[in-house]
Structure 1
Amino acid sequence: MQNAVAIVAEYNPFHNGHKFHIEAAKKETGADFVFVVMSSSFIQRGDCAVYDKWVRTKAALLGGADIVIELPVIYSTSSAENFARGAIRIIESTGIADKIAFGVETDNLDLLKATASILSSPPAEFTDTLKKALDKGLSFPSARAEAISLINNNYADILNSPNNILAVEYLKALELFNSGVQPCLIHRTSSEYNSEEISGDISSATAIRKALKENRIELVKHTVPSECFDLYSHASPLFADDFSDALGYVLRTMSSEEISNISGISEGLENRILKTVGEYYEISDICSALKTKRYTYTRIMRTLFHILLGITKEHEVMFSSEKFEPYIRVLGFRKSAEPLIKELSHKASAPIIMNINKDERKLSEKQRILLDLEKKATDLYFFPHNGKRSLDYTMPIIIEKDK
């Protein structure tokens, strides 16, 4: 049996901090292999990935990952809860990981587990306070933090940090699936995550994306592995506003009733969107105009991309069910990880996709719907670039030879 640790990531884009995370995960767990469940073309805060999933897969393999598995778009663009639930479900389905390593701002596992337990089975006082806070117009994250602070201020502090929030959701999902996969904490700082300025060899993905958006790729050279810099130098980055034309067209073909069925739409938001799209062009401007205390910029962005992707409330219910098992799609692997690929083929409880042309027939009806959404997401992603279609069928799996 191979010794493997799992990581869930967006790699948007892959940088030196991610390379450190992989190395730390191996060191802390004693694992021989690291496999990554990586967001596909669109990401959790509702934006597009800065580079396509094949560029990011190759970067991850060059940076130390052994296998990259796709996190389908229905999960990669969802709430933190469903993002984590989808990723953990896939990790469980592989049968090849006994540990998962994730970044946190606090290294107190007991406190993280206690927070997860409260959120999984909330007491009445939490539920009542949450409802009142939402009724006041607070966003869900703010309302939740207010509610949990009544139980223990330490829990509220946990939920004020981005990596901790995901860590809590991973722990909730591990508990939900009664998983035997053990968590391993890798300490990070909030400044590393949030900083918009390039500083030193390890800078945040936010700062790197900002430099790329400003066409200053030379600034990121020392912040990413050298092989990745060469890769990025020949790739074309994408940003949310590149999809403004597509959003404007789609919204002009949809009725308010159709928009109301989209995941993330509630309380008449569809009417505000239709009004605002007539006043603003860029997606970023639309998000800024629609943002309120209740609806964060991120939630609005996520909802707009759900409109583009056609992700409905029905899809969300279908694929967030704990009974649903997604397929396992391998985007790439290192040649040295072939023994782990072989073990995956023997131990996986879900269908494995190495080649869609051959493996699509293995899928259940619901898994086919999930894959259809993924193919649509890939086509949409390449629309601003060159309009290439069906790349999920034509792009080969990436096999990275060892140095």
Structure 2
Amino acid sequence: MKAVGVIVEYNPFHNGHAFHLQASKEAANADVVIAVMSGNFLQRGEPALVSKWVRTQMALVNGVDIVFELPYRFAVQKAEIFATGAVSILDAAGCDSLCFGSESGDLGAFKQTLEFLTSRSAEYDEQIKTFIQTGVSYPKALSLAFQQLSGSEHVLDLSKPNNILGFQYIKAIKQLRSSIEPLTVSRKSANYHDEHFASDTIASATSIRKAIFSNDHEKMGIGQYVPDRTKDLLEEYLERYGTFHHWELYWQLLQFRLLQTNPNELRDIYEMEEGLENRLIQAALEAQNFQEFMQKIKTKRYTWTRLQRLCVHILTNTKKSEMNHLENASYLRLLGMSDLGKEYLNKTKKHFNLPLVSRIPSYKENDIQLDVRAARIYGMCLDEPHKKMMIQQEYKQPPIVIEKSS
């Protein structure tokens, strides 16, 4: 059976994702689609709108055959580490190809850009250091260094978010010496960061989330932009838990962590730079909510996204020592599968070069404890008995199985 991989967050699953899945399957001539999906906290340092289990259901009912969790250590990270972790999982799961959406849609431009930067890596690194010394953020330094080097060269536009991720996927495939074939399809109608609806049927996840939080929850106003089952699952989640997840729900937890933790201990948190802990503590004393807190700590040097990721690591008490020892994934955490996905696993799992984990209690290695901790914190914003139920779900929930005919 031929498998195409996709790397996703589905926050939430929408019509653009459905288009990408169909296009990926056709481009790869694949029998099954394997998704590597971020868990409860996402790449931009945000809690997912709904839990990873509900987003797994969204994926499976809309055409994905297997969902593996992208471990916390890779999910809440800059693009390079995020991509390396995700590609290593697809490689271990036997994917023949990886198909990603991009603003470019031209695979040749990705390969040419990788060759260009590889051949001038020393210059590139030096330019990055030079720009960082001027006080700009790391992502801005990357972009400026690239512009400085590329000049009039016909290379990829690396200021676009999906182009950046796609470039890192191809770079990871090369570094891992994987046989995965990269494929890309153009993003349809909506851009990644669009906050407003751009067409009658396709919208970005950002604009969909904005609509959900801007409107009365009973009238989300997103029906034309998401499949019916996505809307049903969102409504069921809201009815059960009374809320969707967002940063303000975690503000008191974050404030407590900052105000009760010794500055020396905060310096051990992953992505904390010297001196930043004092700025965060002072802002936590002054701010009344998360939005105000972020506005107080945001600087030219530290992007909003970088600071949000740091806040997630503070919430989960994730130390530098826990994150710096592992370059590639060390397990395959199975969240769900279709009947076709189950058939694929039965035929291929004996060839996997990583352990397949379907239940937490059966896997004794320490690496997965970051995921467990993140799941506990994710549930902490809920009222009882839902808080307890969500925390226990991490241990009790078996992989979700959905038949294609259902």
1:126 aligned onto 2:135: no
Q: 1:206 to 1:313 in 2, by over 3 A?
A: same
For structure 1, which runs of at least 5 residues remain unmatched after alignment?
362-367
Aligned to 2:306: 299
Aligned to 1:347: 351
Q: Separation in 1 of the partners of 2:255 and 2:274?
A: 22
* Same amino acid, percent of matched pairs: 33
Bigger Cα displacement from structure 2, 162-171 vs 236-245? 236-245
Q: How many residues align?
A: 391
Q: Separation in 1 of the partners of 2:286 and 2:374?
A: 27
Aligned to 1:81: 80
Aligned to 1:205: 205
Deviation per CA, 1:163-189, whole angstroms, max 9, x where unpaired?
000001111111110010000101116
Aligned-residue offset at 1:337:
2.3
Bigger Cα displacement from structure 2, 303-312 vs 2-11? 303-312
Q: 1:64 to 1:299 in 2, by over 3 A?
A: same
For structure 2, which runs of at least 5 residues remain unmatched after alignment?
239-243
Aligned to 1:21: 20
**Equivalent pair of 1:149/1:156 in contact (CA under 8 Å):** no
> What is the TM-score of this pair, normalised by structure 2?
0.92
Aligned-residue offset at 1:300:
0.7
Q: Separation in 2 of the partners of 1:117 and 1:373?
A: 35
Aligned to 1:369: 366
Q: Which letter maps to 2:20?
A: H
Bigger Cα displacement from structure 2, 340-349 vs 150-159? 150-159
Deviation per CA, 1:242-266, whole angstroms, max 9, x where unpaired?
1001101111221111111111111
Q: Separation in 2 of the partners of 1:117 and 1:287?
A: 38
The 5 Å alignment of 1:309-388 reads: 309-319=316-326, 321=327, 324-357=328-361, 359-361=362-364, 368-386=365-383, 387-388=387-388
Aligned to 1:11: 10
**Equivalent pair of 2:12/2:230 in contact (CA under 8 Å):** no
Q: What secondary structure is seen at the aligned counterpart in 2 of 1:220?
A: coil
1:151 to 134, 149, 162: 149
Q: Which letter maps to 1:91?
A: L
Bigger Cα displacement from structure 2, 341-350 vs 45-54? 341-350
Q: Separation in 1 of the partners of 2:376 and 2:92?
A: 27
Q: Separation in 2 of the partners of 1:219 and 1:306?
A: 33
The 5 Å alignment of 1:212-223 reads: 212-214=212-214, 215-216=216-217, 217-223=219-225
Aligned-residue offset at 1:119:
4.7
> What is the TM-score of this pair, normalised by structure 1?
0.93
The 5 Å alignment of 1:225-244 reads: 225-236=227-238, 237-244=244-251
Aligned to 2:283: 276
Aligned to 1:180: 179
Q: Separation in 2 of the partners of 1:119 and 1:282?
A: 42
Aligned-residue offset at 1:197:
1.6
Q: What secondary structure is seen at the aligned counterpart in 1 of 2:177?
A: coil
Deviation per CA, 1:2-22, whole angstroms, max 9, x where unpaired?
111000000011011101100
Bigger Cα displacement from structure 2, 105-114 vs 48-57? 105-114
Bigger Cα displacement from structure 2, 333-342 vs 116-125? 116-125
Aligned-residue offset at 1:120:
5.2
CA root-mean-square deviation? 1.7
**Equivalent pair of 1:248/1:281 in contact (CA under 8 Å):** no
Q: Separation in 2 of the partners of 1:256 and 1:116?
A: 41
